[in-house]
Amino acid sequence: MAKLLVKFVCSECGTASPRWLGKCPGCNAFGTLVEEIAGVEGGRVERRAAAATPVPLGEVSAVEAERLSTGVPELDRVLGGGLVPASLVLVGGEPGVGKSTLLLSALGAIARGGRTALLVTGEESAAQVALRAARVGGSEQVEILAETDLDVVCATLEHVRPDVCVIDSVQTLHAPGIGSAPGSVAQVREAAGRLLRVAKESSVATVLVGHVTKDGAVAGPRVLEHLVDCVLQFEGDRYHEHRVLRATKNRFGSTNELGVFEMTSSGLVGVPDPSELFGRTHSGEIGAAVGCALEGTRPLLLEVQALVSPTDLAMPRRVGTGVDPKRLAMIVAVLGRHAGVALGSADVFVNVAGGVRIEEPGADLAVALAIASAARGVAVVDAAAAFGEIGLTGRLRAASQAERRLEECAKLGVALVLAPEGTPERGGLRVASFDSLRAALRAGLARAAPHADAA
Ligand SMILES: Nc1ncnc2c1ncn2[C@@H]1O[C@H](COP(=O)(O)OP(=O)(O)OP(=O)(O)O)[C@@H](O)[C@H]1O
Ligand SMILES: [Mg+2]
| pLDDT the model gives residue 167 | 94
| pLDDT the model gives residue 447 | 65
| pLDDT the model gives residue 62 | 78
Three-state DSSP class for 295?
A: strand
State the DSSP string of 384-452: EEE--EEPTTSBEEPPS-HHHHHHHHHHTT--EEEEETTPPPBTTBEEEEESBHHHHHHHHBSS--HHH
Ligand nearest to the backbone CA of 234? 1
| pLDDT the model gives residue 200 | 92
Distance in angstroms (rounded) separating the CA atoms of residues 375 and 307: 8
| pLDDT the model gives residue 169 | 86
The closest residue, in CA terms, to atom 9 on ligand 1 is: 265
Ligand nearest to the backbone CA of 236? 1
The closest residue, in CA terms, to atom 23 on ligand 1 is: 96
C-alpha 101 to ligand 2 mean position (Å):
7
Q: Which residues line ligand 1 (CB under 6 A)?
A: 93, 95-101, 123, 135, 238, 263, 265
| pLDDT the model gives residue 356 | 78
Distance in angstroms (rounded) separating the CA atoms of residues 283 and 289: 10
Distance in angstroms (rounded) separating the CA atoms of residues 217 and 225: 10
The closest residue, in CA terms, to atom 4 on ligand 1 is: 265
pLDDT tens per residue, the chain (455 residues)?
667 778 888 877 778 888 888 998 888 888 888 777 776 676 665 678 889 999 888 888 877 778 999 999 999 989 988 999 999 999 988 888 899 999 999 999 999 999 999 999 998 999 999 999 999 888 899 999 999 999 999 999 999 999 999 999 898 999 888 777 787 777 888 899 999 999 999 999 999 998 876 565 665 656 688 889 999 988 876 667 788 888 888 998 887 778 889 888 888 888 888 877 777 777 888 999 999 988 767 788 889 999 999 999 999 999 999 899 999 999 999 999 999 999 999 999 999 987 778 888 999 999 999 999 999 999 999 889 999 999 999 999 988 888 888 988 888 788 899 999 988 887 778 899 999 999 999 999 876 444 444 43
Residue 302, classified by CB atoms within 10 Å of its CB into exposed (0-12), middle (13-18) or buried (19+), is buried
| pLDDT the model gives residue 238 | 61
Rg of the chain on CA atoms, in Å? 26
Host H or E run for residue 206: strand 205-210
Please report the atom of ligand 1 found closest to the CA of residue 124: 27
C-alpha 231 to ligand 1 mean position (Å):
21
Please report the atom of ligand 1 found closest to the CA of residue 123: 27
Distance in angstroms (rounded) separating the CA atoms of residues 249 and 233: 9
Task: Say if CB 386 and CB 365 are below 8 A apart.
Answer: yes
| pLDDT the model gives residue 45 | 58
Tell me the whole-structure pTM to 2 decimals: 0.77
Name residues with Cβ closer than 5 Å to ligand 2, which is an ion.
Answer: 100
The closest residue, in CA terms, to atom 10 on ligand 1 is: 265
| pLDDT the model gives residue 6 | 82
| pLDDT the model gives residue 452 | 44
C-alpha 103 to ligand 2 mean position (Å):
9
| pLDDT the model gives residue 187 | 84
Please report the atom of ligand 1 found closest to the CA of residue 97: 21
The closest residue, in CA terms, to atom 28 on ligand 1 is: 96
Q: Which of 101, 104, 119 to mutate to test the pocket of ligand 1 (most atoms within 8 A of CB)?
A: 101
